[in-house]
Structures are given as structure tokens and as C-alpha cells.
Structure 1
Amino acid sequence: MTQHNTAGISLPSDKSPRLTPEQQLVAEYYQHQAMLCQWFATLLSAELDSTTLQAYMAGDAAPLLEELALLPELTESVHALEHAITGLSVLEQPRLELAADFASLFLSDARHSSAPYASLYLDEGRFNGPSAQRMQQRLAAAGYAVDEQFKEPTDHVAIMLDYLAESYRRLALDPTPEAEANVARFVSGELASWLPALATRARQTDTASQFYPALLALLAAYIEA
């Protein structure tokens, strides 16, 4: 979804200073948060392909969801998503019906869908408003741009989560107080401020499966937590 304008960020090599146990825990924590944000971003950037869908229906997501469910703030949302995944097996054509859900939720007219753009919720319903402009500035400052094949405004939830994942990767390498504060401000001001409303819209939309509404509810709870 995003492409680096530079060579990217490399993990510390064997020649890097050894981390203390506390530093190692911090690095692992931020790497894990990056993985979770990337997971959400991937699921919300495009329809599930057949291989991924079959993997989910076979239980491949269970370990990750079980881990998330250990957080009391996420338990209810995790169970709802688990129930939605289980329910995919009763659909006649799961992939096609999920694709239709994706289209009706995220690709339809914003007045009648759960349009996944921050501007719609934070800028009085104006697309490509200040929220998108701020996001574009962040992407430029971070040194990467949106992949040309992902033809969405920069305030699309998947792009914002992808950016957050990269921010966590950078924190894993250099967790300065300033960088941590910047990420915290982004999470609270640019994501937590509108994701609950997105999740509510999705829940109110008629869909064949509860997969995407449950996924968005879990995302909103995760960002809040």
C-alpha cells in the first residue's frame, strides 16, 4: 500500500549495540503493534482473496485473536469477530458475498456506506479535507508515498494504519520520548477520534456477513485501548 522513497529501514545488525532486557521488551512490543496495525490495514485495503479466506475459515487467525482476547477491553470484540468468521461457513458463496459486503461498506456512495475516510468524520463530511492534507504531510515527512495501484485518498483508514505500523517499526528501533509522543498524538487525534463512528456505521449496514462490521469494531476497540 505504501512504498518507501528511500531504501527503507533495516533492523539492527549483529554489530549494533546489545539491547538491555528492558530495551528488548520495548522493541518487541512496538514490533508487535506494527504487526497488528499491518494486519488491520491489509484486511481493510482490499477484498479477501480465496486463499486468505480459506485460511481464515480453517482457523489460521485463531492464535492472533486468542492473544488479543487476553486484553479485557478487546475480549467482547474479539469474540464477535470469531463468531463472524465461524459464520462464513454457512454462506453459499463466502468469497463473493464478502466481496459484496466490502463494496457496500467501503466503495459505495459515502452517504449510504461506511466510507473509510477520516475527512468524512472529522471535516464536516468533506473529502480530501484537512485530515487528508495532514496525512499527506506525514507521509512525505516519513519518506514514503501511497502505492499508485491503491487509488485512494491519503486519509483512507488502511493508509493511516499502514503509516501507524511503520511508525511503530521506527519506534522499535529508536523509542525516543518525542517519537512516542508523536505516535500517541496520531493515534488519539487522527484515529481514535473517528473510528468508533466508522464502526457504528458499519454495524448499521445490511451485510451478508458480520465479518467487516466485527473487524471494524475490534479495530476501534484496539485503537482506543
Structure 2
Amino acid sequence: MTINNAAGINLPSDNVPILTPEQQLVAEYYQHQALLCQWFSTLLAAELDAQTLQAYMAGDATPLLEELALLPELADSVQQLQQAISHWSLLEQPRLELAADFAGLFLSDARHSPAPYASLYLDDGRFNGPTAQRMQLRLIDAGYSVDEQFKEPADHVAIMLDYLAERYRRLALDPTPEAETSVAKFVSEDISSWLHEWAQRATRVDTASQFYPALLTLVAAYFTIA
């Protein structure tokens, strides 16, 4: 995880509420949203390690991708990502080549790459702009802090998705209308509003694998319907 939850969201065992069937469905929906956001965040926070790479090549991501493909709006994006993963076996050194793709896409000069910072898209290309400052205040208000090992500003997409995953976990426990409205506003104004441009930039960069361009396309499509 890219953020540390200082406040905590777990309920004491003797205070766990008894949910109606409808409430249980709502809780499961938000838990699933949290799972997806956490997965996207993890993939976008750092290069794939050897263990994850081997797991994906063995098909560990297939059940989740097949579930996403059931949504018509995501079917094409999922297929592109699955094809990219299936082509890893054609690379001479998959881990090194994917790490090079990650660096070329996300760690290069922001003027020529799809840098993963919301401010660059929402604040007229300014690095660490008002969007980053607003995101930092959200983290403070929620009792979160960025992991010291993840030396990125608060508007890095992995941090924003990690934060959103935590918000969804809170909604699973207490889905008040106010909290739901707040999360929906955050998604529409601070996340989905720039992801398509980000994904389009990625398609214009030469990469050894189409994994990351396909991943960004899927993430952008997902938040269009989230």
C-alpha cells in the first residue's frame, strides 16, 4: 500500500452490526470496488516483481479479468490486457523489459510521457499544483500518510487509488448518503476527469509490451462507469 491508515477502519468485534440482505449486497459491492482500486494502485505504484510476474503468466489474474469482461464497456479493454499478458512469454527478459516500460512511461520527463500525477492534467500542466495540495489535505483529514518508501506527491495515481480503496472500505462499513456523495464527487472530479488523457498519452509511447498502455486504457474505462 502507498498510504498508511493511522485512523483505522476496523470495527470492534462486539460492535459488528447485523446486516439485512440489502445492506449485505451494498457492503459487498463497496468491498469489491475497494479490491479493484487496490489492485490498480498496486500495479501502478511500482514495477512488477518476479513473483507477481510469474503469477500473472500462470493465469492468476484471469478470474478477475474475466469478471471485468462481463461488463460490455470493459470487454475490449480487458481483452487487450489479457493479450498483452499472454505475449510476455515472447519477450526475452519479461521482467526487465516491463520494468523499462514502467520507467519510460511513468518515471520520464512529464512533458514527453504519461506521468501519473493528476495536477499535470487538471492544473494546466503544473507539477504539484492545487490538485496535489487538495489531495494532501484529504489524506491528513482522513488520518492517512504516504508511506515513507513511496516518495511521490499526494496526487500520484497510485496514492489516489489507494485512498479511494480505503474510502470504499469505509463505505462498506457505513454507507451514509453523505459519504457516498463525497466519494462519487472525488471519483468524477479528481480521478475519472483525467484518466482518458493519461491513457491516450501512453498509447503514443513505444514499449516492449502493451501491458501498461492496455492497463491504463482499462483503468480509464473502468472509472467511466464506476
TM-score bracket for the superposition, by shorter chain length: over 0.9
Secondary structure of the residue that 1:55 maps to in structure 2? helix
For 2:5 and 2:164, the matched residues in 1 are separated by 14
Please list, as runs of the form range in 1=range in 2, the aligned pairs for 1:97-108 lying within 5 A after superposition. 97-108=97-108
The gaps in structure 1 that reach 5 residues or longer are: none
1:130 maps to a residue whose letter is P
Secondary structure of the residue that 1:208 maps to in structure 2? coil
Please list, as runs of the form range in 1=range in 2, the aligned pairs for 1:65-144 lying within 5 A after superposition. 65-144=65-144
Aligned length: 224
Task: Name 1:4's counterpart in structure 2.
Answer: 5
Task: Name 2:148's counterpart in structure 1.
Answer: 148
Task: Rate the CA distance shift 1:15–1:141 in 2: closer, same or farther, 3 A.
Answer: closer
For 1:216 and 1:12, the matched residues in 2 are separated by 38
For 2:11 and 2:93, the matched residues in 1 are separated by 42
Q: 1:6-27, CA deviations, whole angstroms, 9 ceiling, x for partnerless residues? A: 3x11156364231000000000
Task: Rate the CA distance shift 1:18–1:195 in 2: closer, same or farther, 3 A.
Answer: same
1:10 maps to a residue whose letter is N
Q: 1:75-134, CA deviations, whole angstroms, 9 ceiling, x for partnerless residues? A: 110000000000111000000000000000000010111100001001011011010011
Could you tell me whether the CA contact under 8 Å between 1:199 and 1:213 is conserved in 2?
Answer: yes
For 1:122 and 1:17, the matched residues in 2 are separated by 40
Secondary structure of the residue that 1:3 maps to in structure 2? strand
For 1:188 and 1:86, the matched residues in 2 are separated by 32
> Once the 2 structures are TM-superposed, how far is the Cα of residue 5 of structure 1 from its aligned partner?
2.1
Identity rate, percent: 75
Secondary structure of the residue that 1:150 maps to in structure 2? coil
The gaps in structure 2 that reach 5 residues or longer are: none
For 2:83 and 2:168, the matched residues in 1 are separated by 30
Residue 44 (str. 1) matches residue 37 (str. 2): no
Secondary structure of the residue that 1:56 maps to in structure 2? helix
Could you tell me whether the CA contact under 8 Å between 1:28 and 1:172 is conserved in 2?
Answer: yes
For 2:75 and 2:12, the matched residues in 1 are separated by 34
> Once the 2 structures are TM-superposed, how far is the Cα of residue 164 of structure 1 from its aligned partner?
0.4
TM-score by length of 1: 0.98
Secondary structure of the residue that 2:193 maps to in structure 1? coil
> Once the 2 structures are TM-superposed, how far is the Cα of residue 138 of structure 1 from its aligned partner?
0.6
Could you tell me whether the CA contact under 8 Å between 1:12 and 1:173 is conserved in 2?
Answer: no
Residue 20 (str. 1) matches residue 8 (str. 2): no
Could you tell me whether the CA contact under 8 Å between 1:119 and 1:129 is conserved in 2?
Answer: yes
Could you tell me whether the CA contact under 8 Å between 1:131 and 1:155 is conserved in 2?
Answer: yes
2:202 maps to a residue whose letter is A
TM-score by length of 2: 0.97
Moved more, 175-184 or 9-18: 9-18
Task: Name 2:186's counterpart in structure 1.
Answer: 186
Moved more, 203-212 or 11-20: 11-20
Q: 1:168-188, CA deviations, whole angstroms, 9 ceiling, x for partnerless residues? A: 000000000000000000000
Secondary structure of the residue that 1:193 maps to in structure 2? helix
**What's the RMSD between the two structures over aligned residues?**
0.9
Q: 1:144-178, CA deviations, whole angstroms, 9 ceiling, x for partnerless residues? A: 11011100010000000001000000000000000
For 1:2 and 1:28, the matched residues in 2 are separated by 23
For 2:208 and 2:29, the matched residues in 1 are separated by 36
For 2:49 and 2:13, the matched residues in 1 are separated by 35
